[in-house]
Structure formats: C-alpha cells, structure tokens
Amino acid sequence: MDRTKGLTWILGMVSGACGLISIICFFFGGGSYSLMAAIADGAICYLSQREADRERQIMVALFVGLALAEVMAFLAGNSFTMVLIIGLVLKLIGFGGILIYLSKVSYDKKKPIIGGGIVVIYAIVKIVISIVSPDTVGGSDPMSIIRTLLSIVPVVIMTILIATDIIKLD
C-alpha cells in the first residue's frame, strides 16, 4: 500500500471515523454486521497509516469476513423476500470482484471497481426501496438506513484505493 499519497491518509481517517460510528450503532441495535464493518473499517484505517506484515492477506480476510457477516445477517433476518435474496447475491458478487483482485487471481482492476459499484448501487436501491416500501427490505427506520450506509464504507474505500493504484500487488 502506498502511504505517501495524501488520499491514503484521508481515506484511512474516514474509515476510522466510520468504524467508530459502526461500533456505536452496534451497541444501539445495529446488529452484528455493524461490528464486522467496524472491524473492517478499523483495519483499513490502521493499514492506511502503518505498514503491516501480510497486508494483502489481512484485506482478503476482511472481505471474507464481510461476506460471511452479510450471509449471517441475511440468515438471521425474519423475512426472505426476493429483493433481499437478490441483494445478497449482488453483494456477494461485489465482494467477489474485490476478493479476486486481492487474492491475485486476476490483476484486472475493472473487476474490483465493478464489484464495488455493484455494492454501492445495491445500497442506494435498498435505501430508496426502504423509504418507499419498508416491508420489502427490512424497514425504513433511521438505524437501518445508517447501517446500510456504513456497510458500504469499507467497500467504497477499498475500491478507491485499488482504482487509484494505492494498493499495488507485488
């Protein structure tokens, strides 16, 4: 990870701030996914500030953890509507695009950028649907909307880091 660019530091601080908000959300009923997002945000914040051994493996573990937390949050839900099922599949495809790049399966930067875009577009659609039809995607309470916004922060930051060549695979 290239820590000489100012963008790295800025994204790390944004990630850290979102991690703190996710922890607060976890304690106020945000669910276990908020805790995993907080861990991911904290790790991204740390990695953007300090060098660590096996950075790539840490990032892979974070995104595998986010994908598993997403599946667990889905299974713990009380409704399994088609919108939620399609959303889970789309998010897993998005995480997969980033994981393919971080795992060195493919060095094509288009895959993680498209994967991050899929996750962001789904989050926006989920927020709009939750406002219009709250029963379809699990409610429109403010905590649900905040949790949805915070859940995409690690994905957005990692996508930006990859797109701007801050994360370079050796």
The answer as to whether 169 is a domain residue is no
The answer as to whether 157 is a domain residue is yes
State what percent of residues in the chain have pLDDT above 70: 95
Copy the structure tokens of residue 4: 């000489």
Question: For residues 35 and 22, is the Cβ–Cβ distance under 8 A?
Answer: yes
Question: For residues 158 and 116, is the Cβ–Cβ distance under 8 A?
Answer: yes
The answer as to whether 127 is a domain residue is yes
Per the prediction, the chain carries an average pLDDT of 87
Domain count, the chain: 1
Neighbours of 137 (CB within 10 A): 23
Integer Cα distance of 169 and 89 in angstroms = 27
- Tens-digit pLDDT profile for residues 114-138: 999 999 998 898 888 888 876 666 5
Domain that holds residue 123: 6-163
The answer as to whether 58 is a domain residue is yes
- Tens-digit pLDDT profile for residues 58-114: 999 999 999 998 888 888 877 777 877 888 899 999 999 999 998 888 888 899 999
Confidence band, pLDDT 50/70/90 cuts, at residue 43: very high
The answer as to whether 124 is a domain residue is yes
The answer as to whether 46 is a domain residue is yes
